[in-house]
Each structure stands twice: as C-alpha cells, then as structure tokens.
Amino acid sequence: MKKPIVAVVFGSRSTEHDISVLTALASVIKPLELSKKYTVLPVYIAKTGKWYVGDEFKKIATFQTEDLEDLLAKKQPVSLLFDNGLRLIERGRLGRDVIHCPDVVFPATHGTHGEDGELMAICEMANVPYVGCDMESSVIAMDKILAKQVAVAHHIPTAKFVSFTKIAYESGSEEWHKKINKELRYPVFVKPAHLGSSIGISRVTHKKDLANAIEVALHYDTSALVEEGVENLIEVTLPVMGNERLHPALLEEPLLKSEDFFDFDTKYMQGGKGKGKGQGMSGGQDKEAQGAQGYSRMPAELPKGLYEEAESIGLAVYRALGCSGIARIDMLIDSKAKQVYFNEVNPLPGSLYAHNWSRAGVSTVNLVEKLIKLAEERFAKKQNLTTSFSTNYLQQF
Amino acid sequence: MQVVVDSLMTRYDRGGKGKVVVLLHGWADSAAGLRTLGNALQKNYDVIALDLPGFGGTQTPKQSWGLDDYVQFVQHFLKKIDAGKVYALIGHSNGGAMAIRGLADGTLRAEKLVLLASAGIRNEYKGRNRALRILAKAGKLVTSPLPIQIKKKLRRKVYKTIGSDMLVAEHLQETFKRVVTDDVRADAAQITLPALLIYGELDEDTPVWYGRQFHELMTDSTLEILPGAGHFVHIDRPDDVQKAIKEFL
C-alpha cells in the first residue's frame, strides 16, 4: 500500500525561522521517518518567502553552511495550486513538471507567516487536512489581546490589562497613560499584540518609563497591551493535545539558566528577583532535564491544589479558544494568593514540546502519529458540513 | 532592554549604581563584546552599553551613515533613556573614534575618557588604498561574467585576505566606507579632559603608534601599552584593563 505523503512545512518569513527549522527536522521529520508509515515531503519556505521542496531540506547540514543561498539560487521554487487538495509544482526541465500532492500538511512554522493562521488558511483553501490548531484558533491564539478577551468572556482569570491600537494610542497617548496608571498597578508588562518569544516586551516599574516601552511595542505591531505584573510569580506551561477529548501533558515550570547580572535582558525581564523569566516568556531550565527552550521542572512543584487548578484552567483556555490538535497554554501563578492566571497560548509550540510529551509517556514517534490522526479526524468532520449550495440568486437579479 | 531612537529599535544594557559610564563598541562588534568589562564596572558605576545601529540587536539605518551620524545617535539615545550626567565614556576601536568626535564637537559630554585600541587615524595608507581601489575595479571587470554567488564568494575571500573589515558587516558597506575615511586627530587635539589610552602591543588594526599620536595630541592623557595583547585588548588582558580603568576613574 502506498504510504500517505506528509508535507512538513517550515522556515518562513519569521523571526523564529531558525527555531522552525529545528522543530521540523528534529521533532517532526525524523519521527515521521522512524515511524515508517509516511512519505515525508519537506517543504522549506525561505526567508524570501519562496517555497522549495527536496530531500536536502531534511538535513540540518543544509541550513548550517553558507551555501544555502547558493543552493536556493540554483533551485526552482515551487508554485502552488489549491484545487482538489494542495498541489506543489516543481518546474522541471523540458517542461516536465513534478507535481507533489500531499495527503496531510504538517505545519512546523513559528511566529508570523505560519503559526499565526496564514499557513492554515492556505490549507483551508486547498481543502487538505493539516496538523495542529485550525486557522481561526491560530489567529486568536497569536493575538494576545484577542486571546485575553476570549478568556475574560469565558470567566477565565487573566491579569488585568489595557489594550489599544497604534492609531488610538497616537491620537491621545496622555489619555492612555492616565488610564493605565489609574487601572493598573506597577510593575506592568508592555507587549506587542502578536509577536512571539520576548520580542518587543518590556517590564516597566516606573510611570516615567511607560511611554518608551509602549513606543517599543508599537514599533513591532499595530496594537499592544499593557498588563499588570503578577506578584510572587511562578510561571507554568501546559502542552495539550486533542480535538474534543483533551489530553494534557505535564505542567512544566520554566526555570532561569543564569543569574548573570550583565545578562541584562534576563535581569530586566525578571525584575531582579529570583527565578521566573518574567511575564509572558516561554522558555527556561529543568533541575531535572533540559527541554527545547532551556531548563524546566516537570512536573511543576506547586502547592497543593494549584497543580489541578492550573491544569483545569489550561484545558478551559484550550476549549475557549477552539484549539485542536496541539497547543501550549502559558499561565502565571501568584503563589501566595494561590491564584492562577491565563497568560497566552502558543498554537504551535517549539519542538512540539516533545521533551514534555516524552516525560508524559508519549514518544516523539507516537506524538506525530497521534497529531496526524487528529488532523484527519477534524478534516473528516469538516467534510460533513455544508459549505456551498446551489441558488438561483443570480438568475433573479 | 529596548528603546526606539530616531525610529531605530535600539538594544542596550544598563546595570549597576553610581556615576554613569557609557560603553561604545567597535565596528562589527556589539555591547556583548564589552560585557566582561561592563560586568566588572557595574559594581561601582551605572553602566550603559548599547548596540550601535547595524550591529547586535539594533536596527540598521536605511541610509549610509558617517561617524557624525553615529555620534548624534548616541546623544539622542542617552537623552531618550534619560541617562543623566555621563561621568565617563569608554570606546573601543571605532567606538573610541566616536567618543573623540563627540567630545570634541560637544555632541557628547563626559568628565573622563577611556580609549581602548581606539581607531580614528584614517589616511596613513593612501597609496595602498588607492592601489586596492584600482585592484577592486579591475577585479569587478574580470569577474563580471561569473554568476553572482561565485562573485560574492570571491569578493569575500579577497577582502578577508587584505584584512579589510568591509565585508564583516556586509549590510553596512557604504557606511563602512564613510566611517573609516573620517580622521579624528584634529578632534583629539581639542580634548582637554583626562583620558586613559590603552593599546595592545601586538595590535595590527590600530597599532600602538595610533595611541602615541593621540597621546601627543591630547592635553591630559595617559598611555598604557599592554604587552602580548592585540586589538581586543580588553578581552586579551581583561584584568589589567579593568584595573587600569578602575584606578583612572
């Protein structure tokens, strides 16, 4: 029997391009090949935005040499067709085109032009099954303001915040400052609405530094939010898998790697206090193991009852945002007040958080197989929906 | 930490308490290159180290810049972050040339100046540079039929062989050409504040005689030559450099 073709799409015009290459190669392509159940089609989106296919993109060495530019210059980018599934057309010599028709798309992109719903939209247009969160939930998850608004509407606790668009802020910055100073307690975190990692995020302890921090956030994005800092902070993150029936992995507590004073970014974000990487930072250490993004403790060592509370809030957020396939929910805990706050959702976690799944009993091979199955199930359900029907409106017009 | 200065996202580090000390890195380096020195100084000073435009985490200017543009940028940056009164400016290599220019024309103010293997003496190789320019033009002509990627590789090799920093930061070629042709000896002659000049004995990029010339030109300077050290004198001999700076400040 012919093996299903899985197109693993990665790279793209994103600040997280390199992380995406690692996710694709180590956490998706390798386990897919180990499973021996699929034919892997690596689809690399270069920083220029051009799409390429080829087995050379399965090797990390391809991305580690200065020759990548030369390789891409020699190679023909593929063109896409969206009728009857996704078609990737490689222009061959003498007019002999090679047409790749993946059965499933496995997005392994992070950040903009991929994780944010754009790649999912292409899959929706092509009507092809794809792994992970769907277009709508990806869009919501990658917009920190929208995600928090959805959480509030579902009575899920989240740190108090004020949000605004660049246009609104620029037409009355003083008013916004007054509103922030009245409604929020310092320190506050200023964040661009969309970008991942810690890009453009500032921790502000004094009113006088607020305007500069907002200017930084709005340099990166068309909207931003200012959020109250959580005291006695413990940061946790929960990878979740599933469509209707949800399967949480272990609650993970990222820890800091270094207390080096002149490592200013770290110090700045953590506010000079012990551990914790600030508000809204993914990453961190494992007294016990090193994960994809640094060190962390798994499962998180939390006061009694808080672990269950955080897990339940994580699952509630996953449902509220309409996530499917896989996502990772970041939460902030005030350890003294024993209060868990939803922070943000990562709809395509780096390395799929395979280190955590593996600790939770799901091997990397098992993980990618399960995710493909979930993608197929969601696709099959969607096919049963009526999305077009014949009318005679135009004849009546 | 980040701040927007003149529409450029600018990354900088700030730490420690005391009088303000500002670190300016050299060409194709970043604040990270001065981290060990910054770490040592922040025990007694409020240390500010920024990535200059085009380097580290700071955006590249849309147009090509000259030394004066960089100096002005530093001034705007210090104002934007409300740095307060600067006690000392410490500049390595091209950062040293920036400090000299800024202090001479009043764009920057400080009470003390430290130059680490400072650049700023630019036109001593006129003949050599003219010959290289002719060679570059001839090379361009000869290699013109070759594919662009091969041309790029050849160019990188040639510039590396002649020891030029031009392609170290390829995105700043035009800026590089402007910066390295700007001589600051006339500016150095105007500097009256106490200055400490540290040069590495084995430095080939900014040789010891640069230090001697600046030392002669400045009114109140001390010159230290560290044996066995190269251009990155603060990395080659960190303890000696830190000790000298601490005593001087």
Same domain membership, residue A247 and residue A188: no
Same domain membership, residue A196 and residue A122: no
Same domain membership, residue A26 and residue A105: yes
Beta strands B19-24; B45-50: pairing state = parallel
Same domain membership, residue B206 and residue B146: no
Same domain membership, residue B146 and residue B27: no
Q: Report yes or no on A383 lying in a domain.
A: no
Same domain membership, residue A341 and residue A258: yes
**Which of B12, B39, B81 is facing A261, going by the closest CB pair?**
B39
Same domain membership, residue A283 and residue A173: no
Q: Report yes or no on B177 lying in a domain.
A: no
For every one of its 397 residues, what pLDDT tens digit does chain A have, with 9 covering 90 and above? 789 999 999 999 988 899 999 999 999 999 999 999 999 999 999 999 999 999 999 999 999 887 888 889 889 899 999 987 999 999 877 778 899 999 999 999 998 898 999 999 999 999 999 999 999 999 999 999 999 999 999 999 999 999 999 999 999 999 999 999 999 999 999 999 987 667 789 999 999 999 999 999 999 899 999 999 999 999 999 999 999 999 999 999 988 644 333 343 443 344 433 333 355 433 333 334 454 445 789 999 998 789 999 999 999 999 999 999 999 999 999 999 999 999 999 999 999 999 999 999 999 999 999 999 999 999 999 988 876 777 777 777 7
Residues of chain A in contact with residue B148, where contact means CB-CB under 8 angstroms, are: 73
Cβ atoms of B27 and B94 within 8 Å: the answer is: yes
Same domain membership, residue B35 and residue B141: no
Same domain membership, residue B89 and residue B149: no
Nearest to A75 by CA among A55, A52, A44: A52
Cβ atoms of B99 and B108 within 8 Å: the answer is: yes
Q: What domain range includes position A181?
A: 160-228
Give kind and range of the element (H or E) at residue A32: helix A30-35
CB contacts < 8 A (A, B): 41
For every one of its 249 residues, what pLDDT tens digit does chain B have, with 9 covering 90 and above? 899 999 999 999 999 999 999 999 998 899 999 999 999 999 999 999 999 999 999 999 999 999 999 999 999 999 999 999 999 999 999 999 999 999 999 999 999 999 999 999 986 655 556 666 666 667 667 777 766 666 666 666 666 565 556 555 666 778 787 787 889 999 999 999 999 999 999 999 999 999 999 999 999 999 999 999 999 999 999 999 999 999 999
Q: Report yes or no on B133 lying in a domain.
A: yes
Residue with token string 């959020």 = A227
Cβ atoms of B223 and B211 within 8 Å: the answer is: yes
Same domain membership, residue B152 and residue B46: no
Same domain membership, residue A121 and residue A237: no
Q: Report yes or no on A355 lying in a domain.
A: no
Listed in sequence order, the residues at least 6 apart from B42 whose beta carbon sits closer than 8 Å to its beta carbon are A261, A262, B15, B16
Residues of chain B in contact with residue A268, where contact means CB-CB under 8 angstroms, are: 1
DSSP-assigned states of every residue in A259-286 = --TT-HHHHHHHTT-SS---TT----B-
**What's the pLDDT score for residue B169?**
63
Same domain membership, residue B235 and residue B135: no
Same domain membership, residue A243 and residue A194: no
Q: Which amino acid is at A40?
A: V
Query: Taking CB atoms and an 8 Å limit, are A215 and B3 in contact across chains?
Result: yes
Edge-first strand order for the sheet with B8-15 is B2-5, B8-15, B45-50, B19-24, B86-92, B112-116, B195-200, B221-226
Q: Report yes or no on A23 lying in a domain.
A: yes
- Return the residue of B nearest to A73 by Cα: B149
A236–chain B nearest CA distance, Å:
24
Question: Does the beta carbon of B190 lie under 8 angstroms from any beta carbon of chain A?
Answer: no
Same domain membership, residue A127 and residue A10: yes
Cβ atoms of B137 and B220 within 8 Å: the answer is: no
CATH no. for residue A176?
3.30.1490.20
Could you tell me the CA-to-CA distances from A386 to A378, A383, A390, B98, B180 in Å, in that order? Answer: 15, 8, 11, 68, 68
CATH no. for residue A123?
3.40.50.20
Residues of chain B in contact with residue A219, where contact means CB-CB under 8 angstroms, are: 4, 9
Q: Report yes or no on B176 lying in a domain.
A: no
Q: What domain range includes position B157?
A: 128-171
Question: Torsion angle, CA of A124/A125/A129/A135, rounded to 10 degrees?
Answer: -20
Could you tell me the CA-to-CA distances from A117 to A104, A114, A138, A139, B17 in Å, in that order? Answer: 17, 6, 5, 5, 46
Which one of A195, A197, A264, A267 makes the best mutation probe of the B interface by having the most chain B beta carbons within 10 Å? A264
Q: Which amino acid is at B166?
A: M
Beta strands B195-200; B112-116: pairing state = parallel
Same domain membership, residue A223 and residue A301: no
Same domain membership, residue A115 and residue A23: yes
**Which of B1, B39, B82 is facing A262, going by the closest CB pair?**
B39
Cβ atoms of A87 and A79 within 8 Å: the answer is: no
Q: Report yes or no on A395 lying in a domain.
A: no
Measured in whole angstroms, the distance separating CA A225 from the mean position of its chain's CA atoms is 18
Nearest to B156 by CA among B172, B174, B137, B170: B170
Measured distance between the N- and C-terminal CA atoms of chain A, rounded to whole angstroms: 51
Same domain membership, residue A332 and residue A278: yes
Number of domains in chain A: 3
Q: Report yes or no on B136 lying in a domain.
A: yes
Same domain membership, residue A280 and residue A222: no
Same domain membership, residue B160 and residue B68: no
Burial level of A387, CB count in 10 A (0-12/13-18/19+)? exposed
d(CA A73, CA A85): 28
CATH no. for residue B115?
3.40.50.1820
Task: Give the count of beta carbons closer than 10 Å to the beta carbon of residue A57.
Answer: 24
Residue where a domain terminates, one of A210, A228, A246 = A228
**What's the pLDDT score for residue B245?**
96
Question: Does the beta carbon of B151 lie under 8 angstroms from any beta carbon of chain A?
Answer: no
Q: Report yes or no on B30 lying in a domain.
A: yes
Buried b (16+ CB within 10 A) or exposed e, B150-178: eebeebeebbeeeeebbbebeebeebbeb
Could you tell me the CA-to-CA distances from A225 to A149, A176, A198 in Å, in that order? Answer: 11, 11, 14
d(CA B92, CA A114): 41
Listed in sequence order, the residues at least 6 apart from B242 whose beta carbon sits closer than 8 Å to its beta carbon are B37, B40, B41, B234
Residue where a domain terminates, one of A82, A117, A132 = A132
Q: Report yes or no on A171 lying in a domain.
A: yes
Burial level of A36, CB count in 10 A (0-12/13-18/19+)? exposed
Residue A219 token pair = 């340099």
**Which of A202, A215, A267 is facing B15, going by the closest CB pair?**
A267
Q: Report yes or no on A183 lying in a domain.
A: yes
**Which of A69, A262, A268 is facing B42, going by the closest CB pair?**
A262
Same domain membership, residue B8 and residue B75: yes
**What's the pLDDT score for residue B154?**
65
Residue where a domain terminates, one of A347, A362, A392 = A347
Number of domains in chain B: 2
Task: Give the count of beta carbons closer than 10 Å to the beta carbon of residue B238.
Answer: 15
**Which of B1, B2, B15 is facing A262, going by the closest CB pair?**
B15
